Structure 1
Amino acid sequence: MHNKIVMVTGANSGMGLATSIELARRGAHVIMVCRNEGRARIAHQEAIRQSGSENIEWMLGDLGDLDSIRRLANGYKSKFDVLDVLINNAGVVSLKHQFTQQGFELQLGINHVGHFLLTNLLIDHLLNAEQGRIVNVSSGAYKVGKIHFDDLALEKRYNIITGYAQSKLANILFTKQVAVRLEGSRVTANCLHPGAVMTNLGVDRKTGFGKRVYAMLRPFFLTPKEGSQSAIYLATSPEVAEVSGEYFYKQEMKPLSLRANNKQDAERLWHWSEEQVQPYMK
């Protein structure tokens, strides 16, 4: 990974931080994307300490705000001409029915729409790489997911499982479709299920609700370092250099459900997403 530039979203904690540390340890120049400056500075120093590398920097980017994503992409493009790996790791589980800055249901907005925009804004820089890679962190929760095209904001039927599973299925359909659109290029796109990982996902940031439950369940979960292994594998391994549009778990390619392989849904979601982010592509 020497002389490779890697961007990791959601890098201030959990799997994003663990992924950043390991890739920096392997010689990559890591861009840690965080939404909060204070947390970014702390995570940056921790990443330097644990990796032993100074070749790490942070940039601000809120995946729930398309204006912030555009500023992030423009800031990156003003400094760099190439991006070797984009790891779309940031994610949220919302206990309540909440919305992003632009009015998307929070989980679909952050987990899918924000990363859809970021990827498309940086696609030319990925194409400039010797072998660009897009790595999307999905979840096995996709198996109970459905894209509710008639009600993507889930106004009629919101619950945490419906919202999260929809967003994770969207990650896979996005991976499938971007792989089709990049076919014949030097850029691959793959996605993964990290396993049941102990992170702050699902803990209410304001009230702390959920922390006690997580503390009780901690022995049964993977650590962020363990959960980051598939993302690191897809970002670095020569074994998957020519593999694209696939889903991985424990560094192995896995079959997908019929819904996750639905080409019509993948195209329909792409066109809807493209319409939503079009004003921010300029």
Structure 2
Amino acid sequence: MARPVIGIIGNRGLINNRYPVHEGGQMNSCAVAHVADCIPMLIPADPDYMSIGELLDVCDGFLLTGGRPNVHPSEYGEEESPIYGTFDRARDAITLPLVRACVERGQPFLGICRGFQEVNVAMGGSLHPEIRELPGRMNHRMPPDGTMEEVFALRHKVTLTPGGQFARLFGADEVMTNTLHGQGIHRPGARVVIEGTAPDGTPEAIYVKDAPGFTMAVQWHPEWNADSDPVSRPLFTAFGDAARAWVARKCPSARVA
């Protein structure tokens, strides 16, 4: 039988500033294929093209990727304003109900950056529009210049709950991560457990309590250097194992190659 299929939630983009495309970072596909050992499938996140039920049937798990547009503040009871940046309402309409459906079914997902924020909002939480403007917080945004290695360089520690899911997975209570985000969790959603924080207190690692499946999400970008990074590799490996377990539950007679 084929490897599990991971739906990679894509973003909208423009080629030459005029040709609209659905796009996804190659790093995401590489991490899914080579580390999680699953088949990557880019999903155009727009309800005009598919339903949540169809996605759940076609895919065995989902990678909720990062993206420049932010979750619309109306999804957590706030008014739209320029401080919240740009939006992708079509992606909101796919990812938020998709997260809730996966939590209910036990279907695995891994949230990254915007995906991390989507998990929190889907579960009823809210977001700060700009972390760096809060007293005592550091600038978590992407460096404006530099090589890819410099942009994705490890920039701060994340302290993990001792004995928690992430600490057990990484085999450590403290890890080093990159940081490329402007927004962050304000109020945790229902059942959202924060197990990792940056030195300034910004939430960095969460999961959904009592969910029957894999619901881990991180604010950093583990897709960078995922095949060799000591934090990224176990995260994607565990995600792939969860997708294989889902296939085994869904089709008990099936054998994943």
TM over 0.5: no
Higher relative contact order (CA 8 A, sep 6+): 2
- Higher share in helix: 1
TM-score by length of 1: 0.37
- Higher share in strand: 2
TM-score by length of 2: 0.39
